Structure 1
Amino acid sequence: MKIGTLYGISVGTGDLELITVKGLRILQQVKIVAFPSGINNQQGIAEKIIQHWLHSEQTQLGLEFPYIQDEKLLQKAWNIASEKVWNYLKIGQDVAFACEGDISFYSTFNYLAQTINEHYPEVKIEMIPGVCSPLAAASALGIPLTIRQQKLVVLPALYTIDDLKTILEWAEVVVLMKVSSVYQQVWSILESLNLLESSFIVERATFPNQVIYHNLKNYSQLNLSYFSVLIIKVR
């Protein structure tokens, strides 16, 4: 029997229309649609985004991807998720995995795809690109992310705070992903380098409850959500 294809579908950052025509076509034509499960029995973000586009005949498959650092527990979760998806793939069913933002950009899908590829290399995996949060944030601000020869650096803030000063010495535009947990440290660094006035935060980009902060000089204390992007225009 033919093995099904695993599709990674980028569904954008919040606005349900930020999905490509190709992504929407595949999302609606497959019978099995998977996505990361939400926390505490709540709908996950990708799940919320795609509900408008799904039809009643499709099977919705929530997969658990815990927010932890323990590699053994993470690997166990990825293995369980891959087995659930494989149960459909092995009988010839295509599966579309919907992921917030872009499928290749700090995406949960990559862990699933890697695990599937390790255990079942015969599975065809296709990734459909889309809108990632730095691009959505720049659009929300109404500014170009980069122009001409500007050097851009994108960093996961939590893991790179110690390197930030060094990077700000040579980069011209810096994007910090998920900055909420280290915001106070970042703010202090930006203050010391006189970069607060050319720094911006977009919280929940393209969602109905999106919030934008211009000129961080007046925002030394912010209670930011997990989905907050900080853009620094260094020069």
Structure 2
Amino acid sequence: MIDLAIDGAVAEITLNAPDKLNALSLDALDELDAAYTDAEASGVRALVLRGEGRAFCAGRDIAGVDPETDDVPAYLGAVERVMRRIASFPAPTFAAVHGACLGVGLGLAIATDVVYVADTAKVGSPFANLGALLDSGGHALLYERLGAHRALDLIYTGDLLAGAEAVAAGLFSRALAADEVLAFTRERAAVAASGPTAAFLASKRLIARLRDERLWDAVTEESRGQEALRATADYREGFAAFQQKRRPEFRGE
């Protein structure tokens, strides 16, 4: 479900499971990690990440996941590994985001250098409907860009931000019409690939040093918190309700 194409100096990685809104299983995360490794080995000077179909990435693929036996640390460990791979990619990286950008999808965007979003994209944390914890670095992003009150408002309600609103709030780089996002992202990646990429990487390393302590500490704490929540009745109810396509009945325990 992960495709890698290389055109000259630019690599393009596509999340290609449109029937699942590009939701990612553990195997898909391994494929994604391998795609970034292959792109790095090719020596490209810029990279584009995109999703096929109606969404960028709707988060984790939890179809068939049993919360009683779910190996949360293994899954979130793979998410962190992929995010670190993206963040440390030795060339400018760009994401073209449309449709749903949730959970793990949000984490992929967080780890990417520059994110262009469709003005109608849906960005945020639907975890209030799962009895689970926002993960993939979401706490660090929302707190840093929106402040504590707005971050907790979105977490408590599960409300999603439209792409244009997310850009206005400072989450991402630029919002465009949905039918323009991919072409614009590809064009910007091609421009970056023809530029002084050694200088760009020096800036990337400096920005990473300023960002990383808060981001990776948050990712670690999110993983611990998610594993702790797995033992709760609400977590089991949230997963069951999602899989059965019904409204969950939470009890706060």
TM-score range, shorter chain: under 0.3
Higher CA-based Rg: 1
Q: Which has the higher strand share?
A: 1
Q: Which has the higher helix share?
A: 2
